[in-house]
Amino acid sequence: MASCRRVAKPGSGRVTVWTAASAAAVASVAALSAVPAGAEPHDPAGHPSARSVGDRITTLYTQAERATERYNAAETRSRALRRQVDRVQDRVARGQGRVNRMRAALGALAGGQYRTGGIDPALALLLSGDPDHYLDRAATLERISNRQAAQLRVLQSAQRTLRQERAEAAAKLVRLEHSRRAVARHKRAVQRRLATARRLVNALPPGALPGRGSGTGPGTGPGFGSDELSGGLNGGPDAAPSSGWASAAFGAARAAVGQPYAWGQAGPTAFDCSGLMQWAYARAGVAIPRTSQAQAHAGQPVPLSQARPGDLVVYRSDASHVAMYAGNGQVIHAPYPGARVRYDPVGMLPISSITRV
């Protein structure tokens, strides 16, 4: 039996009855209300249509993918900063050890001078039974004093360097903490969108969700008109990869077909879109950046009509998705959560750029 509670509005004396069923209905409507313009939001019975839910799920997956690339970028920055912090802290430790040794040496030298040189030099000369020996000894003491002064200057310089490196380490630790917070923030954004998408999928009856591809047809972007797209699909020098490493990367991507999509993963058994590209090129011995935005600039731009297997095809104006050209108008990519690495048409989404590594 549904529970209920009464909520009184302040100052009105009116009481509103809320049942658990009412709350659930409101939540469902809110979750399904954001549908693209032009979609049919409800079926004849007044329920949200499978098409509108499918559009909402597609939007959530797209948003999750963009958040995933932001997460990947923040994670890459955090790892780089951690390495920098480790190097600076190592320099600080070595610098502190050097300063300690210098202090000990100067302390020993000063102690020796105090024990043997506590008398005025002129008086010591008058009282000396062997003035020539005293003058030789005095010259030696002067040289020791000069060396001590030089060591003191070196110590002071080392202390200044140590203070600078400590300040650098502190600043990098602050940046590292900000980067860690960004990683956590983007991770939460991905998880929220994917959780919402899963709830929508699970709420539909089996078979009600239309089949989802990665796109709805040939896309166009800057420099990629319909004529060029047709040229890339129907011909062009795409018979073979452009280099040995591109061939090896293409072979690795083909071997990954069938592996699951997993956000934030770069292999070897699960991938997000940019993680698959980085992993494939790593198998070829080539290091490329982690994110799709950075991968768009990882090599030489080429037109679609000249694309060859192994080239990176970057999609959307924000470069939030990336695939690998496979020849014959096809790409290999990790599409979205719940899907596996697969082949799709090169025009599945609006193309932003094509890069030859």
User: Is there a catalytic annotation at residue 42?
Assistant: no
Give the whole-angstrom CA distance, residue 94 versus residue 84.
15
Residue among 174, 189, 192, 186 at smallest CA distance from 74:
186
Supply the angle between the helices 50-116 and 20-32 in degrees, to the nearest 10: 90
Nearest to 99 by CA among 157, 166, 165: 157
* Rounded CA separation 226/204 (Å): 37
DSSP state of 10: T
What percentage of the chain carries pLDDT values higher than 70? 64
Exactly one of 42, 133, 178, 333 is catalytic; which is it? 333
pTM confidence score: 0.60
Residue 17 scores a pLDDT above 80: no
Which secondary structure element, helix H or strand E, spans residue 110, and what is its range? helix 50-116
Q: Is 321 a catalytic residue?
A: yes
Rounded to a whole number of angstroms, the CA Rg of the chain reads 35
CA angle 308, 314, 316 (to 5 degrees): 145
Q: How far apart are CA 208 and CA 10, in angstroms?
A: 45
The position carrying tokens 């969700």 is 209
- E-assigned strands of the chain? 4-8, 15-19, 300-301, 312-315, 321-327, 330-333, 342-345, 351-356
Report whether pLDDT(348) > 70: yes
Q: What is the pLDDT of residues 84-100, one digit of tens each?
A: 888 888 888 888 887 78
Poorest-pLDDT segment among 9-18, 133-142, 219-228: 9-18
Look at residue 40 and tell me whether its pLDDT is greater than 60.
no
Q: Which tops the pLDDT comparison, 94 or 117?
A: 94
Q: Is residue 121 classed as helix, strand or coil in its secondary structure? A: helix
Q: What is the mean pLDDT of residues 181-200?
A: 88
Higher pLDDT, 74 or 245: 245
Distance of alpha carbon 57 from alpha carbon 194, whole angstroms: 9
Res 26 pLDDT > 50: no
Taking the C-alpha atoms of residue 296 and residue 39, their distance in angstroms, rounded to an integer, is 33
Please check the confidence at residue 280 and state whether its pLDDT lies above 60: yes
Is 249 in contact with 280 (CB distance < 8 Å)? Answer: yes
What is the longest distance spanned by two Cα atoms in the chain? 123
Question: Which pLDDT does position 8 carry in this prediction?
Answer: 41
More confident residue, 300 or 202: 300
Query: 42, 178, 186, 321: which is the annotated catalytic residue?
Result: 321
Q: Which of 42, 178, 273, 297 is catalytic?
A: 273
Let me know if 273 is a catalytic residue: yes
Please tell me the predicted confidence (pLDDT) of residue 241: 94
- What is the spatial distance between Cα 347 and Cα 231, in angstroms, rounded to a whole number? 12
